[in-house]
Amino acid sequence: MKGVKKDKPHYYMLYLLAIYTGMRRGEILALKWKDCLLDQGKISVNKSLTYISGQGIISQETKTGRSNRVISIPQSIINELKNHKNLQQEDKKLFGEGYQDNDYIIAKKDGTPLNPQYVHNHFKRFIKSLEIPDIRFHDLRHTHASIMLKIGEHPKIVSERLGHSSIQMTLNVYSHVTFDMQQESAARFDQAMSNARKL
């Protein structure tokens, strides 16, 4: 990630937000600074950026009503966002009147929004350079959810962060994770019973 942070800071911030929030690609690309309350550690998700042939990059409503949500972010991401904003200020000075200030958090150096397809292509190259098994950008969202569940976060919280239509949907999508947790619970119960028999 260090190489991406140095050469492509907008992609670095994009990947961090995906891992730490579980947001969809289009939701992250549509984020504006006005949606980000850094002093409160909150991000408001209400739009999604997409590319439509013949129309270009457009901002549209999120996937479902539940997709509109407020996500809490940790201090480490707040700090990264502040640094990212400072870099954008430098870009504004560099481009002067040529800078297109659309208020996007994730944008090219001239302020224009990133094409979702470019994100897909860059991520593919990035993963290939790491020489690790091929994964999709969307898998960062799955990683966030899986880790949250494995560390014991309530499925309702995970569901809210992902913008799922229901807790049941979250449990269905991540049934493999919850089954692993069930096995761990069974092992802990077995140990508790074993300890009780020794008394």
The 3-class SS string of 111-166 reads: CCECCHHHHHHHHHHHHHHHCCCCCCCHHHHHHHHHHHHHCCCCHHHHHHHHCCCC
pLDDT for the residue 87: 93
Q: Which segments in the chain show pLDDT lower than 50?
A: none
pLDDT for the residue 171: 84
Model's pTM, two decimal places? 0.84
pLDDT for the residue 199: 62
CATH topology of domain 1-133: hpI Integrase; Chain A (1.10.443)
pLDDT for the residue 3: 55
- Each as own residue / partner, the long-range contacts of residues 125-134 (CB below 8 Å, 24 or more positions apart, any chain) are 126/4, 126/11, 126/15
pLDDT for the residue 192: 87
pLDDT for the residue 4: 63
Residue 160 to residues 23, 65, 149, Cα–Cα distance (Å): 11, 12, 13
Q: Which amino acid is at 71?
A: I
Structure tokens at 64: 């479902």
pLDDT for the residue 169: 86
Cβ atoms 58, 24 nearer than 8 A? no
Domain segments of the chain as ranges: 1-133, 135-199
